[in-house]
Structure 1
Amino acid sequence: MSVATDAILDAVQNMLVHTANLAKYFWETNKGQHKIHRKRAQNLRKVFDVSNNSVLKNKDLRNHLEHLDENIDKYLWSKPIVGRIFPAYVGPEMVRDNVPYHFFRAFFTDSGTFESLGLRFEMQPIVDELYSLYRRSFGETKT
């Protein structure tokens, strides 16, 4: 592992964690006794023009990153780990032969995909949605 690899993965993961946290404002994580969380989320989606099918709504990403420590334990103990293990990887997608590949954190530069413990997330749709939200937040029109 190199310092550059760690820096890139830290930046990508940091962006994803903040994206997951941002999603909590637009979609409730707890219904609440008086449904106040749901009302807040609905109002914010309306004000910021965030559709209900936004990529930001993906709870798989949010849950995976928020519970990464638990997910690592489950991943490591759910089955024997054999094959190629990559704690950190940045580079092009690899041709995966018959040997299993395990990426704790990976960013594939040719596809723009982040992978962690078997879950894959395409980054470009997330970046596009964040940029669109940013533009709407400051009154810029869509182009």
Structure 2
Amino acid sequence: MPSNSKLLIDIQTASPAIEAALKKIASSALIKKWIKAATPLSGLLTLRFVNSTEGKKLNAAFRKKHYATNVLTFPYEHSKSALSADIIFCLPVIRKEAKEQGKTVKAHLAHLIVHGCLHAQGFDHEHEKETKKMEKLEVALLKKLGFTDPYLTTQ
């Protein structure tokens, strides 16, 4: 696989409150470790952490769904060796889902970062075969990062 040594990662937060909340979950260095584990390509990934208002606005504008969702991936360029994408994470939704699923916010965030990075590389879950392939890869990557299978119903 190509080396991701030239993968540029830009981490943005929508507000000081979101930045403070994110720092309580994971450091920038840890987030970058998760990204690099899931992204063997070079290029540019911008991760933006937002509140529910911005998350809802983006989901409505780009997916015609009028609610905030956990992660949105906007791939701009993808080849065998490089990619360019924005990945948006709605921190309040992620915290709520983690609580509902009985997971730590850190584990859920790691899963969604891996998930978003795979979308940026062209993986999808529109059909059952694609879903199984993507989920299998997510589970393997998360295991290497020290996390349990995020699809297990009891954790």
Range into which the TM-score falls when normalised by the shorter chain: under 0.3
**Larger CA Rg, structure 1 vs 2:** 1
Higher relative strand content? 2
Please, what TM-score do these two structures have when normalized by structure 2?
0.25
Give the TM-score normalised by structure 1.
0.27
